């Protein structure tokens, strides 16, 4: 048995799959997404399901903080940061589904296949599986304005970004202006790649109006993507977005899954073939970690 399958726990609580939710009308979703570059599906996951996901966030956060340093095993990555107020914090985990069965079930939930089908079809790979935390009191948890297109490298492996890729985020907690909800510029996806964020990591830069203005965008056009727990946001790889600090007393957590029309991407784990969920294999495949095959073993990363 590989280290990866051994790492997955079998005794985590099941999501309740007896869901009844009104899925968006395909044409309404397609129109809103095409016009604005984003859309929201309200209440896609139930309060009980959000409790299960929140439990997974707590487990992974405890595991990440116990590591004490950023750590990688294959595509699984714990990214820690130093916060001036809180000290060491966990900023994000990539590919937690290698570690946590509850999160793995969510990313393969049939609701994703149903919501995404009108946008990118029913044969999908997954290139993002990621958790974000903004703990209360933290000062360094911003995401500078950017477009996700900047991360789709090498460019030759990611074809027809605009028509083939959709990023999604499930709110675990209330996402409000005060808690550091994403801010988006509606319609900015029509502008193509604007080179926002320069070469630096966007999670180590703050959200600056000046960056928008330098790209010819009006900061006053930014809207807060406010979400209730269980809501799903969907956005285009070219949508300009960022997010600020959390000034509330509660956590602000987001579970992000990014899907792609399979035929237009050489990277990623299969998620759905003809609408049917596909489990992770025995070993990870190449997604964004270029040294996956040279350095697959667990190791700490210098920050």
Which residue reads 């040294």 in tokens? 291
Distance, C-alpha 21 to centroid of its chain: 22
Q: Is 189 in the site for ligand AKG (CB under 6 A)?
A: no
Provide the mask over 124-163, with x wherever binding to ligand AKG is found by CB under 6 A and - wherever it is not: --------x----------x----x---------------
Q: What is the dihedral of CA 168, 206, 73, 129, to 10 degrees?
A: 0
Task: List helix spans (H) across the chain.
Answer: 3-7, 26-36, 47-67, 101-107, 110-120, 161-164, 209-214
Decide if residue 95 touches ligand AKG (CB under 6 A): no
Which single residue brings its beta carbon nearest to ligand AKG?
243
56 within 8 A of 127, measured Cβ to Cβ = no
Q: Using CB under 6 A, which of 56, 89, 119, 254 touches ligand AKG? A: 254
Nearer Cβ to ligand AKG (166/296): 166
Burial category of 279 from C-beta neighbours within 10 Å (exposed 0-12, middle 13-18, buried 19 and up): exposed
Do the beta carbons of residue 61 and residue 252 sit within 8 Å?
no
CB within 8 A of 132, min separation 6: which ones? Answer: 91, 92, 253, 254, 256
Backbone angles phi, psi at 186, to 5 degrees: -55, 135
**Residue number with CB closer to ligand AKG (164 or 243):** 243
Nearest distance, CB of residue 238 and ligand AKG, angstroms: 12
Give least dist CB 2 to ligand AKG, A.
Answer: 29
Shortest Å, Cβ 148 to ligand AKG: 5
Q: How far is the CB of 302 from ligand AKG (least distance, A)?
A: 23
By CB under 6 A, tell whether 256 contacts ligand AKG.
Answer: yes
The interface with ligand AKG within residues 29-68 (CB under 6 A) comprises: none
CB of 256 vs ligand AKG, minimal distance in Å? 5
Of 70, 243, 246, 257, the one binding ligand AKG by CB under 6 A: 243
Q: 139: closest CA among 66, 208, 84?
A: 84
Closer CB to ligand AKG, 12 or 248, in the complex: 248
Are the beta carbons of 285 and 268 closer than 8 angstroms?
Answer: yes
The answer to the question of residue 182 lying near ligand AKG (CB under 6 A) is yes
User: What is the closest distance, in whole angstroms, from the C-beta atom of residue 281 to ligand AKG in the complex?
Assistant: 25
| Binding footprint of ligand AKG on the chain (CB under 6 A) | 132, 143, 148, 182, 241, 243, 254, 256
């Amino acid at each position: 048995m590989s280290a990866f399958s051994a790492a997955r726990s079998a005794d985590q609580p099941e999501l309740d799959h007896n869901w009844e939710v009104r899925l968006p009308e395909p044409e309404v979703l397609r129109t809103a997404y095409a016009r604005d570059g984003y859309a929201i599906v309200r209440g896609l996951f139930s309060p009980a399901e959000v409790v299960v996901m929140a439990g997974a966030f707590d487990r992974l956060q405890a595991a990440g903080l116990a590591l004490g340093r950023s750590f990688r095993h294959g595509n699984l990555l714990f990214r820690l940061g130093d916060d001036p107020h809180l000290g060491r914090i966990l900023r994000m985990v990539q590919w937690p589904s290698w570690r946590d069965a509850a999160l793995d079930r969510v990313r393969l939930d049939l609701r994703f296949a149903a919501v995404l089908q009108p946008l990118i079809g029913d044969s999908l790979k997954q290139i993002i599986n990621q958790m974000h935390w903004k703990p209360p009191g933290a000062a360094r948890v911003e995401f500078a304005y950017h477009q996700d297109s900047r991360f789709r490298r090498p460019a030759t492996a990611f074809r027809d970004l605009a028509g083939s890729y959709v990023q999604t985020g499930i709110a675990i907690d209330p996402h409000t202006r005060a808690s550091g909800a994403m801010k988006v510029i509606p319609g900015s996806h029509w502008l193509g790649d604007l080179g926002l964020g320069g070469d630096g990591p966007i999670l180590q830069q703050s959200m600056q109006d000046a960056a928008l203005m330098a790209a010819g965008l009006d900061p006053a056009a930014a809207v807060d993507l406010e979400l209730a727990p269980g809501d799903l946001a969907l956005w285009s790889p070219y949508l300009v977005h960022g997010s600020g600090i959390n000034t509330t007393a509660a956590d602000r957590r987001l579970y992000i899954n990014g899907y792609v029309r399979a035929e237009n991407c050489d990277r990623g784990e299969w998620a759905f073939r003809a609408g049917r969920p596909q489990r992770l294999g025995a070993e990870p495949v190449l997604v964004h970690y270029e040294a996956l095959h040279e350095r697959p073993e667990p190791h700490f990363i210098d920050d």
